Chains A and B, each alone.
Chain A
């Protein structure tokens, strides 16, 4: 395979020299922060010369490790492979065939931006087993990152232009989607803010040891808060707390939405790639080869759906899968953040190359028997906490109100089952298989029928008599597997036979029973 454009690099290159101190900044800053918090809680008088000395030694150590990591990491792009050598003590050599590369993901956080660096993650789409062949370069200069992107995804005969290094700065076509102020009104409908509060609270809890609870309890603000609660009564306080949480979530979610997705642009490149750019502080730029896209998934969390919004993700090999460190690269399969549903459908249709989004076609509902199965799954489990609390209450060792409160879970479970049943659906739409499911988050997956690489059909004994089957279409893509859950047996088998010609047909027969 010949690569037009930038000539292939065959010499080993190193990461950018600046990454030595850039990579050390974060752990060092964390250390400083921890120190500052400790000092705030314990006072300056208990800090001698030992703590700063330890701190200094650790900072020097971090720098030394960072330098060593830089010195031992080299990479190169040959005609056929991308190779990465790394490892402080255990040497690792990773070699990935270039025709396996699916996506290039550039991340530039604030520190990296100040230094003019970018982290490059190259998605390979292998999964399971010994597959940690995701390649991550942390970090190279932005110019080198751009060069890598254009070299790595430039292949095939369709490329006619003459790109020099880093010339694909700005695609000439109009963006398929661009951040708009109207998107922001959907932000408060997510729970992003509360999740953030939870994360911060968990982080603060780590310093809980340093807090003197007795002193905190006796302090002025806490005492007056307790007095206030006694004064106004519990229901009003619960209401006030709920209102406060809603307000907090509204503000935080909006801020986070703008910070995370501000400046969002989705562009189709002339080299048959999709490029997403977004983020105000940490800038993310993901390039995905279009030929690798197997479908899309449109997610509508209940609140967002009621507000007329939807999110979308890409189903493609090399995105959304776990990276080399076992952790998923966050949002590496993002197609659209929370946006108006109409736009989501327009963009997904555009990405899939069809006039109307298959995610919006009318779907075939599942038989009522599926609702019974769902109720059996949801309701008994929801009654368990109440049951568990009622036993000690009956024996008189425990108050009665907890189990009565826990009983509230039962109607919630019934609602959940009804909601999930209402969401179930599937269809064939042109070259796509559409499967919808989920309770709190309605998730509509659209996968290319020719991308289905296996069928898996499951049925528990309880599904045998009501003639229900759960059919999974396996797709070679991150979390691409799509299950049509609790569908009518005859109808879903006929659909699966149609979806992939010749695959399931020889194994399906008329049922005499």
Chain B
């Protein structure tokens, strides 16, 4: 048992093998842009009627933050979000400020779902959710190519059905 103190080697979780589809960057960029446009328009409507200096400054500041966010964060997110499915487990990494790694064995997978929002449908993307019997064990792979996602779901479902019991 490797509970021996001090001599422990330095370890880390390795990056999962695959990235999601590059179109996911466009998807997240559109999502972010839509959010910021809504904020800018809301403040802009107020500006039409009432134009104190600080509110104009706020609108400009929001616009700058929005531009930086739309330009940078989808790429960072794309770089951070990776996934992998081996013969025994699903492994997903997400998050930048709070990093999050999840591993679930295929034998404990309960359901495999696919979601496609309007933007994703237009871009031909899918999000695959793998759930286990615990809320801490839900894995999401966001922004896969639609066909690749379908293939993955099929593979995961087959692996799940091959395991007897109710995966608890």
Contact = CB atoms under 8 A, between A and B. Distances in A.
Interface of A: 99-100, 125, 127-128, 317, 364, 427-428, 453-461, 464, 472, 474-477, 480-481, 489-491, 493-495, 497-498, 502-504, 506-513
Contacts of A428: 1, 3
B12 to A, nearest CB: 4
A457 B3 contact: no
Contacts of B137: 453-454, 456, 474
B132 A474 contact: yes
Contacts of B97: 460-461
Contact of B103 (A491, A504, A509, A511): A504
B46 interface: no
A476 B103 contact: no
Max chain A Cβ within 10 angstroms of own Cβ: one of B9, B13, B100: B13
B146 interface: no
B102 interface: yes
24 contacts: A99-B166, A125-B133, A125-B168, A364-B3, A428-B1, A428-B3, A453-B134, A454-B102, A455-B103, A456-B102, A456-B103, A457-B102, A458-B100, A458-B101, A459-B98, A460-B99, A461-B98, A475-B134, A476-B132, A477-B168, A494-B8, A495-B2, A511-B11, A513-B10
Contacts of A504: 103
B2 A453 contact: no
Given A456-B100, A503-B103, A506-B86, 10 more contacts: A127-B133, A453-B167, A456-B103, A457-B100, A475-B134, A490-B8, A490-B9, A494-B2, A502-B88, A508-B12
B51 interface: no
A294 to B, nearest CB: 8
A498 B57 CA distance: 56
A508 B14 contact: yes
Contact of B9 (A481, A506, A510, A513): A510
Contact of B11 (A125, A453, A490): A490
Contacts of B9: 490, 494, 510
Interface of B: 1-3, 5, 8-14, 16, 84, 86, 88-89, 91, 97-105, 108, 131-137, 139, 166-168
Contact of A453 (B10, B86, B108): B108
Contact of A457 (B13, B14, B86, B104): B13
A427 B168 contact: no
Contact of A494 (B11, B99, B135): B11
Given A128-B135, A427-B3, A503 B10 contact: no
Nearest to B14: A509
Contacts of B133: 125, 127, 317, 453, 476
Contacts of B86: 506
Contact of A508 (B5, B11, B99, B168): B11
B132 A503 contact: no
Contacts of B139: 454
Nearest to A426: B3
Complex A-B, nearest 9 residue pairs according to Cβ-Cβ distance, in ascending order: A454-B137, A476-B133, A476-B168, A474-B134, A474-B137, A511-B12, A454-B104, A453-B108, A474-B136
Contact of A458 (B8, B12, B99, B168): B99
Contacts of B98: 458-461
A229 B3 CA distance: 61
A464 B12 CA distance: 11
A503 B91 CA distance: 10
A501 to B, nearest CB: 11
A125 B9 CA distance: 39
A453 B104 contact: yes
Contact of A509 (B5, B8, B12, B108): B12
A457 B9 CA distance: 19
A446 to B, nearest CB: 16
B114 to A, nearest CB: 16
A460 B99 CA distance: 6
Contact of A489 (B11, B102, B168): B11
A460 B97 CA distance: 6
B101 A456 contact: yes
B13 A493 contact: yes
Contacts of B8: 490-491, 494
A498 B1 CA distance: 7
A455 B90 CA distance: 11
Nearest to B103: A455
B136 to A, nearest CB: 4
A511 to B, nearest CB: 4
A508 B13 contact: yes
